[in-house]
Amino acid sequence: MERIQLHDDLQFSRIIHGHWRLADWNYTGQQTLGLLEQCLELGITTIDTASIYGKYTCEELFGNALSLKPELRGKIEIVTKCGIKLANDENSFRLNHYDSSKEHIIESTERSLTKLRTDYIDVLLIHRPDVLTNPEEVAEAFSSLKKDGKVKHFGVSNFLPSQVNMLEAYLDVPLVTNQVELSVMYRDHFENGVVDQCIEKKMPPMAWSPLNRGAVFNNQEENPSRVRSTLQKVAEELGTSTIDEVMYAWLMHHPANIMPIAGSGKIERIQSAVNSISLQMNREQWYEIWVSSRGKDVD
Amino acid sequence: MERIQLHDDLQFSRIIHGHWRLADWNYTGQQTLGLLEQCLELGITTIDTASIYGKYTCEELFGNALSLKPELRGKIEIVTKCGIKLANDENSFRLNHYDSSKEHIIESTERSLTKLRTDYIDVLLIHRPDVLTNPEEVAEAFSSLKKDGKVKHFGVSNFLPSQVNMLEAYLDVPLVTNQVELSVMYRDHFENGVVDQCIEKKMPPMAWSPLNRGAVFNNQEENPSRVRSTLQKVAEELGTSTIDEVMYAWLMHHPANIMPIAGSGKIERIQSAVNSISLQMNREQWYEIWVSSRGKDVD
Amino acid sequence: MERIQLHDDLQFSRIIHGHWRLADWNYTGQQTLGLLEQCLELGITTIDTASIYGKYTCEELFGNALSLKPELRGKIEIVTKCGIKLANDENSFRLNHYDSSKEHIIESTERSLTKLRTDYIDVLLIHRPDVLTNPEEVAEAFSSLKKDGKVKHFGVSNFLPSQVNMLEAYLDVPLVTNQVELSVMYRDHFENGVVDQCIEKKMPPMAWSPLNRGAVFNNQEENPSRVRSTLQKVAEELGTSTIDEVMYAWLMHHPANIMPIAGSGKIERIQSAVNSISLQMNREQWYEIWVSSRGKDVD
């Protein structure tokens, strides 16, 4: 599978496997390991998780699976995230909030390492832009984690350009990615400067919710219906029967080197994402989908 | 006529003649040549056209006229644009879309050179921000065209600041202008950072639709009516009877060195744009029009 | 009191006393002097005024008070502003407008020096972003005022990031602050890049209307009512009885080094702002107020 260069010594597989709903799949450790091995066979080496996924359980579920075959650690890249504190039964928080303090970043990462049963994270992301971001503290936390070999690279998620610029002004390491929502049905970041900045800074974006949580499949409103028709038409032209492949291909045809996160626990669905890489969408088909989604012709 | 410096070796006349509707004027080559000569007598040396104007016909109409008196080529600056593909009878496109691929930029420019009957373009603009812009390809196309002497300078049109920044990060030539819609009735780019960026980068903007397609003259809605009254009042104060002169003068009073594109085929209308240069609008009159257009006082 | 470093040789007190309504207080010179001395006892050394405050009268009222005890001049920092022209009985302006011409900046500052009975301004701000800003003229005015020792430092007020970038590209002095509206009830500048830019450029913002002109105290609409309840709850937790202290503390807990402008003529109210500095708000309380103000949980 095509690999995307994020830094001199860092590559991701074009398709990334997402563990957002890993806890919902109710897999045994052996089953989770099996899914990982199937992903690896498809060329998917990059795993996306986060401290809070599955109410703080997904990292551990994956770590347990990985511990059944520790030699796989060197063959994969693990992306995890810190910076959100969920109110739940185990802690005393009254409400969900963000925390990008030095203390939290380091503590959260230590917990991630323990749960993931690994001694390093390939890429650590700040999960959401904390309004209280003190970039000096973030810089200190990143430097400390890097110096200790606990994290190799750093990035952000859901950051706007002004937030990336603000943080980067204080860091002595580059941000290697911005993980944002991107899909046929969610065009905001193509229009508000986020994707422009990713290209400008050679910081390939990871795309979450690349299928828009299935809205385009089920939603009967006017806009999704119109987009679905267009996707079906293009699917026929490209010789595939599934519109989710077209949705993945649409993201990957964009020159920003977008890396879609396939968040399914079923290997057939993941296979579908991989298949989409070989679809040869042309520029006109891409714009037909764009125009269908925005509901009006280009100017 | 005042001339605006866009680069060390590039100046435009303050007023630019626009060929957007050249095909609608139904002029013979000799008539088009006559109009050009009248423009030159007024000091207008810069011509704005585009590959797609008149459904791909305007460049050729002008080229034919120019061929009647080739010695005029050295006395004018030709601006043309590439990057839009219109669906029409002659090609197989299903829908209008954008294309800033290296291949398209070069092919479109070659066609422009042929149609315009010239061996160089003074300034080539990317007509619209292509969502699929690959800035490396644009940079290669620009370098190639410049090296071959086919295009002397490059710019953009209708680009937002993030799109300019993204593209410039890859170019080894400066962008000399951003051609955008600017008028008394269309204030967006004064408020969204586009004009700020033009000043910051010393990249004087060309203004298309400086008379807002006449909306202010004919539209009976509240906002245009109010603006028309204000323009008439200021016109009286400035000693002119035509509000379009005030609209041009309003743009040129701004410190960004805005170059209005006068898109008329009638020399009287073009003369009106030229006359506006000598109007001495003051700051208070300028703001009276600004306030009238936004419909509320400044804060 | 904590002091904020704005430049190598410039510090402000964390709380700033605002003279926006000085004329409304109907104080004698002696009373105004008394208030200043009470502020100084509290550690407030920075005074914020503007040419136009009190319809051009506030600077003079303060200057008269200061002349009663000139030795205080060296113990305070005076911030004043230029760039707005109000239509009033004394001049011939038809409407309020902005003016950032070299001529106006210098003339306005000369008048401020005379009215304030001082021979230097600590920080001069451009009061509002003039749409007609010619940054070369602003740069010339600033250089001239600095060279003559009339102004020590410069800043802006109510500027968006693109306007700051545009102006800074021409200045040979740094902008030391951007004075903007910031409060529990006015979150815009936390979300539109203004505060991000302040942190990026190490340019601490001054906050005007930090109590949102009392809207949260009196307004019975849903949103202010909800925020008031949250503020009251946090006030109890922090052991204070006044929610305005919580509103000040909320601004100062943010890492941008926000300096609230307390615009009251009553020393008890100013004391309240100073008291807020010692409140130990935690991150969760901060976000509880944030969430209450935006009316929805963080994502």
Domain ranges of chain A: 3-219+257-274
A201 to chain B: which residues are within 8 Å by CB? 169
Residue B69: the pLDDT is: 98
CA distance A193 to chain C (A): 13
pLDDT tens, B4-44? 999 999 999 999 999 999 999 999 999 999 999 999 999 99
**Phi, psi at C97, each rounded to 5°:** -155, 175
Task: Calculate mean pLDDT across residues B226-243.
Answer: 94
In terms of C-beta distances under 8 Å and separation of at least 24 residues, what long-range contacts does B224-229 make, across chains too? Answer: B224/B185, B226/B292, B226/B295, B227/B184, B227/B185, B227/B289, B227/B292, B227/B293, B229/B292
B163/A297 CB distance under 8 A: no
Q: Could you report the per-residue pLDDT of B162-186, keeping only the tens digit for each?
A: 999 999 999 999 999 999 999 999 9
Active-site pick, C27, C53, C56, C248: C53
Residue A126 exposure: Cα atoms within 13 Å on the Cβ side = 31
Percent of chain C with pLDDT over 90: 92
Cα(B108)–Cα(C89) distance, rounded to whole angstroms?
61
Return the higher-pLDDT residue of B237 and A91. B237
Test mutation, A186, A196, A202, A281, chain B, max B CBs within 10 A: A196
- Predicted pLDDT of residue B89: 67
- For A:92-151, CB contacts with C below 8 A are 93-99, 101, 128, 131-135
Model confidence over B83-112: pLDDT tens digits? 999 998 677 788 999 999 999 999 999 999
* Residue of chain B whose Cα is closest to the Cα of A162: B162
- Would you state the pLDDT for residue C202? 97
SS3 content of chain A, % helix, strand, coil (to 5): 45, 20, 35
Per-residue model confidence (pLDDT) at position A94: 87
Residue of B nearest to C85 (CA): B284
Q: Which tens digit of pLDDT belongs to each residue from B252-295?
A: 999 999 999 999 999 999 999 999 999 999 999 999 999 999 99
Q: Which residues pair with A157 in a beta bridge?
A: A179
- Would you call A283 and B97 a contact, using CB atoms and an 8 Å cutoff? yes
pLDDT band at residue C223, thresholds of 50, 70 and 90? confident
Those of residues 235-254 in A touching chain B at CB distance below 8 A are 253-254
Instruction: Please indicate whether residue B53 is annotated as part of the active site.
Output: yes
Instruction: Please report, as a single letter, which amino acid is at residue A281.
Output: M
> Which residue type sits at B147?
K
The ranges of chain A with pLDDT < 50 are none
* Mean pLDDT calculated for residue range C200-211: 97
Chain B residues whose beta carbon lies within 8 Å of the beta carbon of residue A255: 132-134
pLDDT at B241: 83
Among partner residues C199, C286, C290, which is closest to A135 by beta-carbon distance? C199
The architecture that CATH gives domain C8-181 is: Alpha-Beta Barrel (3.20)
Task: Tell me what pLDDT residue B32 has.
Answer: 98
CATH number of A3-219+257-274: 3.20.20.100
> Which residues of chain A are within 8 Å of residue B165 when distances are taken between CB atoms?
196-197, 200
Q: What is the pLDDT of residues C22-51, one digit of tens each?
A: 999 999 999 999 999 999 999 999 999 999
C298 in contact with chain A, both atoms CB, cutoff 8 A: yes
Topology of domain B3-294, CATH: TIM Barrel (3.20.20)
Task: Name the pTM for this structure.
Answer: 0.96
What's the pLDDT at C140? 98
To the nearest whole Å, the CA of B176 is away from the closest chain C CA by 17
| Chain A touched by B158 (CB under 8 Å) | yes
What is the share, in percent, of chain B residues with pLDDT greater than 70? 98
What tens digit of pLDDT does each residue of C92-122 get? 788 999 999 999 999 999 999 999 999 999 9
How many whole angstroms from its chain centre is CA B271? 17
Give the minimum alpha-carbon distance from A118 to chain B in angstroms, rounded to a whole number.
Answer: 38
Residues of chain A in contact with residue B85, where contact means CB-CB under 8 angstroms, are: 284
Q: What is the mean predicted confidence (pLDDT) over C214-237?
A: 85
* Average pLDDT for C127-135: 98
pLDDT at B221 over 90: no
Structure confidence by residue, pLDDT tens digits, A153-204: 999 999 999 999 999 999 999 999 999 999 999 999 999 999 999 999 999 9
Q: Check whether B220 has a pLDDT greater than 80.
A: no
Q: Report the distance separating Cα B103 and Cα B137, nearest Å.
A: 9
Residue C215 in this model has a pLDDT that exceeds 80 = no
- Would you tell me how many other CB atoms lie within 10 Å of the CB of residue B202? 15
* Residue from C252, C254, C287, C291 whose CB has the most chain A CBs within 10 Å, to mutate: C287
Q: Do C290 and A93 touch (CB under 8 A)?
A: no
| Paired sense of beta strands A84-85 and A3-7, if any | unpaired
Question: CA of A198: which chain B residue's CA is closest?
Answer: B166
Minimal C-alpha gap between B169 and chain A (Å): 6
pLDDT at A241: 83
Mark yes or no for CB contact A255/B95 under 8 Å. Answer: no
**Which residues in A lie closer than 8 A to residue C233 (C-beta atoms)?**
none
**pLDDT (tens digit per residue) in A247-267:** 999 999 999 999 999 999 999
- What is the per-residue pLDDT for A216? 72
